[in-house]
Amino acid sequence: MFVGGAAGASAVIALTGMFTNSDQRVVRDARWIAAIGGAISPALLISDLGMPSRFLNMLRVFKIKSPMSVGSWTLVAFSSSAAMAAFSDAWRHRNGGTPIRRAATITDVFSALSGLVLTSYTGVLIGATAIPVWSESVSLLPIQFAASSFSAAASLLELRGHLDSPTLNFIGVTSSAIEMAVRSSIEVSRKPALRPLKRGQTGWLTRIAGFLSGPLPFALRLFAAFSSDRDRSRKLRAAAAISSIPGSIMRRAARIAAGRSTAKAPRVPLQLEP
């Protein structure tokens, strides 16, 4: 959930940076983060499934109505195109050539399109279940996961050394603002199924994750944007990045933990479709 989302968002950042003539070092690092995350994600998914054959079985057919099938095919498409984009770019910088440049552009587009799906698909996946705490927020989960993915991608790039990029800081501010908006909607909701996100151990985990990925990095990034001291601004952005990454990971962990708790709660009925 975290690795695939951050990798997918990095691919989108790389493509956007390429078309807007942004710092090519940021674009290149974004491509490699996408490629590395794309290589790791299938192994993590197979580990979650328990055996490789389950993953291979999902690739036998493509079912548009199955989030798991769509996600598996998206992951394969992303992993392949992200790796090709990174290696094509490396080859182009080393040897040059128009055909390689075109190949890098095409693979960048495929990587970004599949990566954009990957940023939010896990939210769709768990939302399309009968677990109350997930199904009740099915419309918000993809938005929250996508925002968290872009925040993580921008933070990874900043910790890679790109602390002077205003675009990455803008992505971080926007993502944190979306995180806070989603969290606020959950807090004011009176739906019984969402109580695990506000009470008990899962409630505390959710609030800590929300603080690390929402208000804290949001404030730090705003201070950094308006600071006239370059060194101070860089330190504030580094602190925001360090906060956002564990916050993004904990966000997923809190959602999973809350889902497990509601699945075991006899007072919260499963919302089964006829």
Place of tokens 């009176």: 190
Band (272; pLDDT cuts 50, 70, 90)? very low
| Cα distance between residue 237 and residue 53, in whole Å | 43
pLDDT at 66: 73
Give the residue from 121, 25, 18, 113 showing the smallest Cα distance to 64. Answer: 121
pLDDT at 111: 92
| Cα distance between residue 132 and residue 271, in whole Å | 6
Does 51 or 243 have the greater pLDDT score?
Answer: 243
Whole-structure pTM value: 0.87
Domain spans, the chain: 1-128, 130-274
pLDDT at 266: 54
Indicate whether 137 pLDDT > 70.
yes
| Cα distance between residue 58 and residue 69, in whole Å | 6
- Per-residue pLDDT of 8-54, as tens digits, reads 999 999 999 888 877 889 999 999 999 999 999 988 888 887 777 77
Mean pLDDT over all residues of the chain?
A: 86
| Cα distance between residue 165 and residue 136, in whole Å | 38
Instruction: Tell me how far apart the terminal alpha carbons of the chain are, to the nearest angstrom.
Output: 29
Band (267; pLDDT cuts 50, 70, 90)? low
pLDDT at 98: 57
| Cα distance between residue 255 and residue 258, in whole Å | 5
Indicate whether 145 pLDDT > 90.
yes
Share of the chain above pLDDT 70, in %: 92
Q: Angle, to 10 degrees, between the axis of helix 24-49 and the axis of helix 98-127? A: 40
The mean-pLDDT minimum among 86-100, 139-153, 225-239, 250-264 falls in 86-100
Q: Is 195 exposed, middle or buried (0-12, 13-18, 19+ CB in 10 A)?
A: buried
pLDDT at 45: 84
Give the residue from 179, 256, 175, 249 showing the smallest Cα distance to 2. Answer: 249
pLDDT at 150: 96
pLDDT at 273: 47
Band (65; pLDDT cuts 50, 70, 90)? confident
pLDDT at 47: 83
| Cα distance between residue 258 and residue 201, in whole Å | 9
Does 59 or 25 have the greater pLDDT score?
Answer: 25
Does 207 or 266 have the greater pLDDT score?
Answer: 207
- Per-residue pLDDT of 179-224, as tens digits, reads 999 989 888 888 888 888 888 888 899 999 999 999 999 999 999 9
